[in-house]
């Protein structure tokens, strides 16, 4: 559950009181007070890269390709807002809950920037806001359902490198400026499309370990490219437990996840954690935070309130020539973890993000106050944000955004 403003303030007060006994060094930071944090607070637009777990509507609703217009068809959006809205869910997904937690605005869709119209308008001196970024301070989502770091099986899907190229293009046009980038953060979400494409072509899983290394290396390359553009704050998701997806768990009659698949996900996430740590060392003035989708989804599975059977079972969103649905709908989407063969329900995303966004609170309250004096930390002030990196062992540290604890 998201902390209230009062709850966050109390948490911040407790943290700062505890940190007064910690061996801390400071980078460009004087006396730290709650009033100063509030006065320094400014909007931090979110730029989103990745796939359908983050895509809030970049697929073209008018595409003739069924896999592209799918999230614009009934019954997607059935729970919220009551009609299809381009999301691969019955309602909200990770991006919606993430920006809500940060009290930021939902990023504009790259699809709606209408780049060609923008170029034509500017060429004739038209400065109307019918194209381009219509509102500063909202960020942009480039996330595209089906995407991976490499090309997947659908040639109409943009991989992450192409999404970054799209950002470069709109920066060259002046739609986004370096100052916009410096004051914004990145949400980087990948849920395993690279692996689905690979296993489709290599069902015997030959070479899968080497391919995992390639995927993680490319994630690091993409993050470095974004850091070189000027972003200073990154939130990167682990790959979720793919063995729980209905298109895989159906071999167990949806009774349990497929452990052998999840073990491969753990390999990916272990490598990713190491690369994120390396990036933190390479870019000491940039924060890289790992959002543990894998553990959070498994925790929801193990809690037992949701079934693994998809609510929209079959070819969700498809009809035959007589308009007969090629799928069946469950009676209550709040009781199923997955909406279709790959994507969580609105209720599941709420449960998952409740775990994700309460992890900092749980961590702080779990620490033994008697041991605070053994910890070390570094305060820093980066792009309008106060950060504290708390080292609680030789190998492990936690980066806390103190603004997020207040607001």
52 catalytically annotated:
yes
HSE toward the beta carbon, residue 358, CA cutoff 13 A: 14
Assess whether 340 carries a catalytic annotation. yes
> Helix, strand or coil for residue 345?
coil
| Helix or strand holding residue 388 (H, E) | strand 385-391
Cβ pair 358, 1 in contact under 8 A: yes
Catalytic residue (one of 249, 343, 380, 401): 343
Secondary-structure breakdown of the chain: helix, strand, coil percentages, each rounded to the nearest 5: 45, 15, 40
Neighbours of 26 (CB within 10 A): 12
Alpha helices in 202-345 (DSSP H): 208-229, 246-249, 259-282, 293-303
Q: Is 98 exposed, middle or buried (0-12, 13-18, 19+ CB in 10 A)?
A: buried
How far is residue 302's CA from residue 298's CA, in Å, rounded to a whole number?
6
Q: Which two tokens stand for residue 337?
A: 């973890």
Cα 75 vs. chain centroid, distance in angstroms? 24
- What burial class does residue 315 get, using C-beta atoms within 10 Å of its C-beta: 0-12 exposed, 13-18 middle, 19+ buried? middle
Tell me the two tokens of residue 35.
């009033």
Strand partners, 329: 312
Question: If we measure between CA atoms, which residue out of 170, 69, 67, 62 comes closest to residue 115?
Answer: 170
Q: Has 206 been annotated as catalytic?
A: no
Positions marked active-site: 52, 340, 343
């Amino acid at each position: 559950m998201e902390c209230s403003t009062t709850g966050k303030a109390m948490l911040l007060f407790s943290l700062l009181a505890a940190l007064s006994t910690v061996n801390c060094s400071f980078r460009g930071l004087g006396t730290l007070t709650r009033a100063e944090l509030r006065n320094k607070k400014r909007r931090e637009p979110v730029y989103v890269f990745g796939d359908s777990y983050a895509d809030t509507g970049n697929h073209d609703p008018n595409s003739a390709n069924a896999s592209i217009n799918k999230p614009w068809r009934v019954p997607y959006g059935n729970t919220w807002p009551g009609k299809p809205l381009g999301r691969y869910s019955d309602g909200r997904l990770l991006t919606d809950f993430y920006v809500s937690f940060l009290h930021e605005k939902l990023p504009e869709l790259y699809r709606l920037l209408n780049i060609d119209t923008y170029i034509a308008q500017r060429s004739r001196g038209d400065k109307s806001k019918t194209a381009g970024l219509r509102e500063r301070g909202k960020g942009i989502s480039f996330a595209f359902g089906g995407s991976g770091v490499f090309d997947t099986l659908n040639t109409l899907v943009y991989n992450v490198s192409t999404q970054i190229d799209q950002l470069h293009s709109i920066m060259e046009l002046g739609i986004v400026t370096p100052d916009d980038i410096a004051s914004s953060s990145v949400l980087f979400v990948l849920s395993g499309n690279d692996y689905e494409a690979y296993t489709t072509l290599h069902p015997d899983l030959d070479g899968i370990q080497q391919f995992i290394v390639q995927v993680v290396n490319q994630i690091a390359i993409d993050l470095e490219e974004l850091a070189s553009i000027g972003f200073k704050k990154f939130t990167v998701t682990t790959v979720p437990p793919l063995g729980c997806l209905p298109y895989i768990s159906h071999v167990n009659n949806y009774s349990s996840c497929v452990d052998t698949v999840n073990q491969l996900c753990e390999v990916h996430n272990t490598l990713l954690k190491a690369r994120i740590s390396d990036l933190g060392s390479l870019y000491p003035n940039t924060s890289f935070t790992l959002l543990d989708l894998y553990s959070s989804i498994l925790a929801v599975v193990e809690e037992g309130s949701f079934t693994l059977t998809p609510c929209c079972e079959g070819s969700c969103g498809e009809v035959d020539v007589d308009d007969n649905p090629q799928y069946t709908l469950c009676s209550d989407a709040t009781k199923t973890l997955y909406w279709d063969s790959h994507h969580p329900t609105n209720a599941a995303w709420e449960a998952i993000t409740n775990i994700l966004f309460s992890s900092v609170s749980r961590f702080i309250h779990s620490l033994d106050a008697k041991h605070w004096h053994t910890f070390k930390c570094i305060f820093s002030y980066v792009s309008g944000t106060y950060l504290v990196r708390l080292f609680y062992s030789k190998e492990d540290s936690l980066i806390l955004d103190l603004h997020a604890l207040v607001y």
